[in-house]
């Protein structure tokens, strides 16, 4: 009994925040003089890249067909993949894609030695407050993920007295942002870079919306810089505190007490969860241990890279569709999927983006910051096919002020592309509650 109490006491301890260099240099060579310039940027898929890609697609070797009776259970169905590759080769319009993506104002600026690309859209609306919203994506994505939601977030809604100015960067090593040649650029350090980017743009206080690795970076920002973050909305809410893991394990003894009956199946029985994790996280272990090795194959073959990336996109869009030929991919629009694949190929960033898995699970500072709770007001939306589900009583281990939580019976991991209207609705509701939270606390003070 005493040992158990000591163990729980240990798990509840809050560590001292690590001493972090907020201007650590991630660029080549030594730190030169400051360059705070913000430069307009335009996406271009040039003919050299397109011609080389199409030649590689045409010269692909014959793909091994699936086993008899197998759809997506062994991974990417190569019969279905052939259809996608033929579409990418013959019908996908690279130039039109670039023009469409360039409808948003885009910029680059050098932060801590790396050229970061970001979208910045200012609403052209009078009579309402404009609130800064930083949006952070994850792997294998980029700011492209927010293409559908940005117009909705920057448009006035009659029931709200505010609208958003959206800042959507590509994380370093993703999309059109430069990667580092130095080890150690983990989500804590990326969070610092994102804070420095926002300060560069003149924002000392702002809201954040994020999913996947972006949610990890944003969580660290809310933990380390609570005075900057006015509110944090996430579509991948996770508490990685030790006490949270213990509570989930303990809850397996009494599932209907740990989670409401309607949603208990998302977490329990743990046997089913562990089976799913074992089935679907092979890529995770590869990228967390040997990203550069698998990166050689993916860098050299656009067909291989497309299969690898799209298989994961499909599964986390609907994990119950491995018995279909598309494995979940068709829950998203094909052009959205191929935009993501094309951006990775054009920027040769498959390796630099995958390294976040290796960096995210090494280093003492990440483990320390994970175990520090934050009082920043937080909102969570749980879509049906998100990778992991945690009930609110677990999430509050990390997010003490979880003031809004939504659980829906549809949708998946790439919410901004899959269910954009529902995501935006929840962001507006959440930020309204954030504002009320601050007003109430100010009146108390």
* Active site members: 212, 357, 413
- Nearest to 255, CA basis, from 388, 391, 382, 387: 391
Beta-carbon neighbour count of residue 296 at 10 Å?
11
Query: Cα(392)–Cα(402) distance, rounded to whole angstroms?
Result: 8
SS3 string of the chain? CHHHHHHHHHHHCCCCCCCCCCCCCCCCCCCCCCCCCEEECCCCCCHHHHHHHHHHHHCCCCCCCCCCCCCCCCCCCHHHHHHHHHHHHHCCCHHHHHHHHCCCCEEEEEECCEEEEEEEECCCCCCCEEEEEEEECCCCCCHHHHCCHHHHHCCCCCCCCEEEEEEEECCCCCCCCCCCCCCCCCHHHHHHHHHHHHHHCCCCCEEEEECHHHHHHHHHHHHHCCCCEEEEEECCCCCCCHHHHHHHHHHCCCHHHHCCCCCHHHCCCHHHHHHHHHHHCHHHHHHHHCHHHHHHHHHHCHHHHHHHHHHHHHHHHCCCCCCCCCCCHHHCCHHHHHHHHHHHHHHCCHHHHHHHHHHHCCCHHHHHHHCCCECCCEEEEECCCCCCCCCHHHHCCCECCEEEEEECCCCCCCHHHHCHHHHHHHHHHHHHHHHHHHHHHHHHC
Structure tokens, 71: 């759809």
Beta bridge partners of 382: 407
Structure tokens, 16: 């001292």
Contact call for residues 349 and 101 (beta carbons, < 8 A): no
Query: Cα(299)–Cα(63) distance, rounded to whole angstroms?
Result: 18
- Name the residue with tokens 């990667």: 179
- Nearest to 147, CA basis, from 343, 348, 432: 343
């Amino acid at each position: 009994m005493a040992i158990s109490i000591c163990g729980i006491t240990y798990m509840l301890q809050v560590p001292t925040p690590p001493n972090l260099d907020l201007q650590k240099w991630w660029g080549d060579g030594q730190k030169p003089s400051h360059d705070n310039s913000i430069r307009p940027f335009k996406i271009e898929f040039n003919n050299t890249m397109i011609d080389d890609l199409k030649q590689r697609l045409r010269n692909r070797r014959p793909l091994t067909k699936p086993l008899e009776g197998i759809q997506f259970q062994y991974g990417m169905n190569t019969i279905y993949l052939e259809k996608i590759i033929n579409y990418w080769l013959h019908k996908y319009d690279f130039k039109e894609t670039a023009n469409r993506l360039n409808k948003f104002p885009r910029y680059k600026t050098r932060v801590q030695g790396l050229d970061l690309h970001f979208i910045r859209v200012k609403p052209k609306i009078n009579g309402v407050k404009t609130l800064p919203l930083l949006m952070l994506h994850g792997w294998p994505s980029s700011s492209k993920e927010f293409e559908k939601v940005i117009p909705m977030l920057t448009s006035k809604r009659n029931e709200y007295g505010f609208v958003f100015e959206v800042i959507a960067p590509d994380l370093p090593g993703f999309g059109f942002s430069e990667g580092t040649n130095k080890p150690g650029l983990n989500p804590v350090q990326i969070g610092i870079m994102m804070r420095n980017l926002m300060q560069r743009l003149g924002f000392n206080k702002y809201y954040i919306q994020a999913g996947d690795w972006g949610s990890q970076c944003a969580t660290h920002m809310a933990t380390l810089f609570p005075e900057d973050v006015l509110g944090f909305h996430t579509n991948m809410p996770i508490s990685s505190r030790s006490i949270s893991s213990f509570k989930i394990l303990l809850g397996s003894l009494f599932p209907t007490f740990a989670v409401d009956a309607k949603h208990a199946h998302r977490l329990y029985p743990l046997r089913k969860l562990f089976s799913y994790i074992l089935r679907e996280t092979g890529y995770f272990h590869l990228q967390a241990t040997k990203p550069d090795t698998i990166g050689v194959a993916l860098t050299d073959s656009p067909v291989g890279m497309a299969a690898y990336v799209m298989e994961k996109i499909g599964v986390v869009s609907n994990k119950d569709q491995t018995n279909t030929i598309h494995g979940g991919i068709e829950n998203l629009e094909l052009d959205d999927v191929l935009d993501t694949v094309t951006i990775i190929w054009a920027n040769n960033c498959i390796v630099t983006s995958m390294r976040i898995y290796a960096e995210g699970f090494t280093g003492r500072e990440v483990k320390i910051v994970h175990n520090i709770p934050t009082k920043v007001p937080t909102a969570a939306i749980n879509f049906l096919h998100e990778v992991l589900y945690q009930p609110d009583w677990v999430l509050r281990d990390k997010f003490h002020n979880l003031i809004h939580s939504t659980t829906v019976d549809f949708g998946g991991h790439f919410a901004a592309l899959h269910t954009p209207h529902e995501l935006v609705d929840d962001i507006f509701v959440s930020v309204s509650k954030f504002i009320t939270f601050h007003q109430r606390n100010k009146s108390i003070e």
